[in-house]
Each structure stands twice: as structure tokens, then as C-alpha cells.
Structure 1
Amino acid sequence: MTSTVVVYFSGYGHTRRVAHTVAEGAQAQLVEVSENGEVSEAGWALLNAADGIIFGTPTYMGSSAWQFKRFSDATAKYWFSRGWQDKVFGGFTVSASFSGDKQVTLIGLQTLASQHGGIWVSLGLLPASTLAATRNDINNLGGSVGLIVQAPSDADASAIPAGDIKTALLYGERVAKIAARLKATS
């Protein structure tokens, strides 16, 4: 059986909702990065045993939240031993604006996965880019590197557009499916 873990930090609850949706799609376990940027020993054990890891962080000021960055830096102990070599990775980010430099954050997550010798999974969905497209459509923000989500800054997580939530579910499924496929061939 394939094991996937979603590790995320959420500042205001929006990223938490997306993490839970991605985890539902991937049938994954969740590891939350604390307000201090730490992960429990049990969380580290889940990450080390996982076949697939999906990173999640809000985009603040064009980058990952500092709490997620602290977690990222702490993964160096596994980098030295190549402990996460050949794992499947994916990532998502949330911000209030439609762009908000989310692509920069995703590239940072992709680089972290590459540093570990991992295999990155793109979103794999065509954008909803027609005149008739709405925020209820899948991949209505046109992501490709990973999942990007827009959450209004003046509303709670329930206001995340339905299209972004559907896209999150599909992305979780995609990462888990690829992890399972690669595990079956090894």
C-alpha cells in the first residue's frame, strides 16, 4: 500500500482547508507545521515512511510562510542522508490575490523536492481559460507547476471558490496515483 503525507502550515485556516481536501483526494495523512515552524516526532516519522509528500503553505510576500521555511530548513538532516531520495512530491499554495506570486512559492517547493532527489508531480490539468469559465471551474487560475488557490482575505476558508477546492481534490488524487504507480514498478 502506498503512503502519502500532506505537510502544511496554515496561518488563518485557508491553507488548512486546502490541505484537508488534498489529503482527501490522496487518501493521505496530515502533518501540520506548528506556529513555531516545528513538526512533531510522529510527524517526522510519517514523512520519512511516506512514498509521497505534498507540501502546503500560504504565500506571504511572494514566498512560503516563515513557519514552513523553518520546516524546510529542518529537512536538511534527511537531505544529508538522502532519506527522501526518489519520493514523489507535490505542492500547493494559497494567497488572497489571484496571482500573489504563488508561482514563485511553488517553484520554491519544487526546488526543495529536487534538493531531496525527489520526483515532482505537476498539476496535470488544462486551465479553464475560455470566456465562459468561472471560479467554479477546475483549474480556473491556470496553474501548472502545482496547485494554486485563491482565498479572499476578508472571509474564512468556506469562501474558497468551488473550482479551487475541486482542483485540490484532483491534485491529491494525481500525486497519490503517481506515487502508487512508481512504487509498483520498484
Structure 2
Amino acid sequence: MPSIAIVYFSGSGHTHLTAEAIAEGVRKTGNHVELLRIKGEQITNGRWQDDEIMEKLDRADAIVFGSPTYMGGVAAQFKAFLDAGSSAWFSRKWKDKIAAGFTHSGSLSGDKQGTLIYLSIYAAQQGMVWVGAGDLPSQYLGKTDGVNRLGSFLGIMGQTIMSMTGGEAILDSGDRLTAEYFGQRIAEATKRWNLEQLAIAT
């Protein structure tokens, strides 16, 4: 049974809710999933370190990367984690693992594609196999469930209007459903990839 790790940073909670929805989609396929949240306190003198998280990522069959889009790119906390992945890059520990990505921001655009491009390039440098979103925007299918309402295919995007007064994080119902479908797609792709690799090896 494939093991899927979702590693992410969430500042106000929206990216966390997206990660949970992706995990729910993975669970619906019967596969194992683990949520690994990056936190600011894991960073000392600008360097991120958490050996336990890195060990779990090394063992996973797939890694899903998630970050809110801040100022057109990944959050600084998540960038520190990604930089720490250079050790995996040198040793090729993540080569041939399935990879995918997701992001969230307060604006409909918010330059979220910049974040997904960065994450996909990072995965390519690690030698990983990138899986994008597979669902057409629901409006093109005459549906109103909001699936892929932002029309993103490199990875998935979510959007919630930023509250200047704080409050509990919420996720658009369409974005939540998109995330669940994405989790199922990643799990199924990981299973197929693992079977193909096993067949090649034997």
C-alpha cells in the first residue's frame, strides 16, 4: 500500500484545511497518508531542521508540497524547509517518488501559479515525477460544485477572501472537493507508478 506524505506550511489555517482535504481524498482510496506541518520554531538562525520529518519523507512513496502564496511565491518558512531538502538532492533520496503541489491565497489570482511553478521545478530538481490536477473546471461541465473553479492544472489552488480582523479559517466548498479529488488522483497515480516500477525491476 503506497504511503503518501503531505508536507506543508500554513500561516492562517487555510493551507492546513486544504492539506486535510487532500489527506481525506487519499484515505478514500485506502492508502496511508501522513500530514507533516512545517512550523517556524523548526527554524534556527534561518535554517530549518527536523530529522523526524525528513526521515518520514525519505520513506514515503509520494510527497505533496503545500504552501500559501505570499508575495507571489512560497512562504519563507516553507522555503527554508525546501532548502534543507538539498541533502536529499545530493543523495537522490527522493528520485522517482511521485510529487504534487497545492497553494492558497486571498485573491482569485494572487500569482498562485508562481508558487506551483516553483514547487514543480523543485520536484524536477529532486528527480521526482510530478502529478498535476486532472479535473476540468466544473462550470465547463454545467456543474455548480465548484471543482477546480480557479482553473488550475499544474497543481491545485484555493482562495478565501482575507479577513483583516482574523477569525476562523474557512475553505470554499469547491476548493475542498477539488482537494479531495486531488488526493485520490495522487494516491492512484502513486499506486500505478509503484506497480510499473516493480514490473520493471522484476
**Paired residue for 1:156?**
168
Larger displacement relative to structure 2 (15-24 or 64-73) = 15-24
**Paired residue for 2:191?**
180
Is 1:92 matched with 2:97?
no
Distance 1:46 1:127, change over 3 A: same
Q: Is the 8 A contact 1:128 1:141 kept in 2?
A: no
**Paired residue for 1:5?**
5
Distance 1:34 1:156 in 2: 19
Give the TM-score of the pair, scaled to structure 1. Answer: 0.93
**How far apart are residue 161 of structure 1 and its match?**
1.1
Distance 1:92 1:101 in 2: 13
**How far apart are residue 45 of structure 1 and its match?**
1.2
Structure 2 unaligned segments of length 5 or more: list them: 28-32, 198-202
Distance 1:25 1:131 in 2: 22
Distance 1:157 1:25 in 2: 20
Moved over 6 A (4+): none
**Paired residue for 2:153?**
144
Residue by residue over 1:50-84, the C-alpha shift from the partner in whole angstroms, topping out at 9 and shown as x without a partner, is: 11000000000000000000001000000001110
Aligned length: 184
Structure 1 unaligned segments of length 5 or more: list them: none
User: What amino acid does structure 1 have at the position aligned with 2:188?
Assistant: K
Distance 1:12 1:39, change over 3 A: farther
**Paired residue for 1:122?**
132
5 Å matches for 1:1-186?
1-27=1-27, 28-36=33-41, 37=43, 38=48, 40-130=50-140, 136-154=145-163, 156-158=168-170, 160-186=171-197
**How far apart are residue 117 of structure 1 and its match?**
0.4
Distance 1:49 1:87 in 2: 10
**How far apart are residue 39 of structure 1 and its match?**
5.3
Larger displacement relative to structure 2 (108-117 or 41-50) = 41-50
What SS does the aligned partner of 1:157 have? coil
User: What amino acid does structure 1 have at the position aligned with 2:196?
Assistant: T
Distance 2:134 2:148 in 1: 10
**Paired residue for 2:200?**
none
Distance 1:96 1:133 in 2: 24
Distance 2:4 2:141 in 1: 37
Distance 1:61 1:25 in 2: 29
Distance 2:110 2:49 in 1: 27
Give the TM-score of the pair, scaled to structure 2. Answer: 0.86
**How far apart are residue 41 of structure 1 and its match?**
2.1
What RMSD in Å do the two structures reach over aligned CA positions? 1.6
**How far apart are residue 132 of structure 1 and its match?**
6.3
